[in-house]
Amino acid sequence: MIAALQERFDVVTNVDDTPWSPDEIAAKLAGCEAAMSTVLCKFDASVFERNPQLKVVSNIAVGYNNIDVAAATKHGVRVTNTPGVLDDTTADLTWALLMATARRIAEADAWVRGGEWKIAFGMHSFLGTDIHHATLGIIGMGRIGQAIARRASGFDMTVLYHNRSPLPAEDEKRLNATRVERDELLARSDFVVVMVPYSPATHHLIGAADIAKMKPGAILVNTARGGVVDDAALVQALREGRIAGAGLDVFEGEPKLHAGYLDFKNVVLTPHIGSATRSNRIKMCETAVANLTAVLDGKTPANLVNK
Ligand code: DGY
């Protein structure tokens, strides 16, 4: 990707994922017309104020809560993202976490590696939660939510969803999914998956009161964004044994974790790797390059966030 960009542009890179502060980003962008970023880079208003020549920030992600879009718009900077290409990859990771948590995979793996396996078959060892024929509740039924729902049919699950707007009837039928109110979803689901973008409106969307409404023994999975789930409330619910476990790929304040999570073997933790497969990252980069070059060529990019 970088080579392709270098054929047309002078490129400044940060390929080793050094977390540049907004101040460093603003300084590095001096004289640059375009920026390509990951969710690691925080573009606050100061970046745009200090770089009036900037035309586009092309985020290599579907989420763009790392960018102050209102400030970008105010300064005439176009913001683009990479929707679509990562839906299946993120849905796969969501399922991996759901299954790993339900069947206690991480815990069992650590146990075997730790030399604890002394009796060949344990009638009471690592008893988990059935996935097949269970009820899956998806909060946020956009493209990724729907990709998660599609996978549930192989497990003969009942799929409930909650979304601001209902899906068209033919999509509900195709996905075998029923729209319900959030409280009903929380009360009925054996697995609750959160798949909404982060914004002030979704901050702590799943907090103490919501977790209290979950079916006792249910499992929560978050592969959307940290901050959508209130980590402190979830840790407290785990401490009280209210739910059976959680599979989490994203955290408020990542890479820092709420220390409480480390106390629980029934919590599976991954480091924001929802979109992390080689082929998907290539697709994301290609999409981001196409968006960036479209703006520099005076065209409308395919994935414009601030229309
Ligand atoms: C996204 O695309 O928003 C992911 O979280 C980062 O890959």
Domains of the chain with CATH codes? 2-85+277-296 (3.40.50.720), 87-269 (3.40.50.720)
What value does the mean pLDDT take over residues 139-165?
Answer: 98
pLDDT in tens, 57-90: 999 999 999 999 999 999 999 999 999 999 999 9
pLDDT above 90 for 12: no
Q: Which residue reads 């390929």 in tokens? A: 15
Residue 86 Cα: closest atom of ligand 1:
2
Q: What is the pLDDT of residue 4?
A: 85
Q: How large a percentage of the chain has pLDDT more than 90?
A: 95
pLDDT above 90 for 124: yes
The helix (H) or strand (E) run that includes residue 7 is: helix 2-8
Q: What tokens does 22 get? A: 């907004």
Q: What is the pLDDT of residue 245?
A: 98
Do residues 124 and 142 lie in contact, with contact meaning Cβ atoms separated by under 8 Å?
Answer: no
Ligand 1 neighbour 63 (Cβ under 6 A) = yes
pLDDT above 90 for 14: no
Kindly give the distance from the C-alpha atom of residue 93 to the centroid of ligand 1, in angstroms, as a whole number.
Answer: 12
pLDDT band with cut points at 50, 70 and 90 for residue 15: confident
Kindly give the distance from the C-alpha atom of residue 276 to the centroid of ligand 1, in angstroms, as a whole number.
Answer: 9
What value does the mean pLDDT take over residues 20-34?
Answer: 96
Q: What is the pLDDT of residue 2?
A: 86
Pocket residue to mutate for ligand 1, from 36, 38, 39, 287, most atoms within 8 A of Cβ: 39
3-state secondary structure of 268: strand
Q: What is the pLDDT of residue 13?
A: 87
Kindly give the distance from the C-alpha atom of residue 216 to the centroid of ligand 1, in angstroms, as a whole number.
Answer: 31
d(CA 292, CA 276): 21
Kindly give the distance from the C-alpha atom of residue 59 to the centroid of ligand 1, in angstroms, as a whole number.
Answer: 9
Q: How far apart are the first and last CA of the chain?
A: 26
Q: What is the pTM of this model?
A: 0.96
Q: What is the pLDDT of residue 1?
A: 80
d(CA 120, CA 277): 35
Residues tagged active-site: 225, 254, 272
pLDDT above 90 for 133: yes
In the beta sheet, which residues pair with residue 135? 158
Label residue 15 exposed, middle or buried (CB < 10 Å: 0-12, 13-18, 19+): exposed
Ligand 1 neighbour 275 (Cβ under 6 A) = yes
pLDDT in tens, 186-237: 999 999 999 999 999 999 999 999 999 999 999 999 999 999 999 999 999 9
3-state secondary structure of 56: strand
Q: What is the pLDDT of residue 213?
A: 98
Q: Per DSSP, which regions of the chain are E strands?
A: 34-37, 56-59, 78-80, 135-139, 158-162, 177-179, 191-194, 219-222, 245-248, 267-269
pLDDT above 90 for 43: yes
Ligand 1 neighbour 226 (Cβ under 6 A) = no
Q: What is the pLDDT of residue 17?
A: 86
Query: Which residue CA neighbors atom 1 of ligand 1 most closely?
Result: 61
Average pLDDT, the chain: 97
Distance of CA 193 to the CA centre of its chain: 11
Do residues 195 and 144 lie in contact, with contact meaning Cβ atoms separated by under 8 Å?
Answer: yes
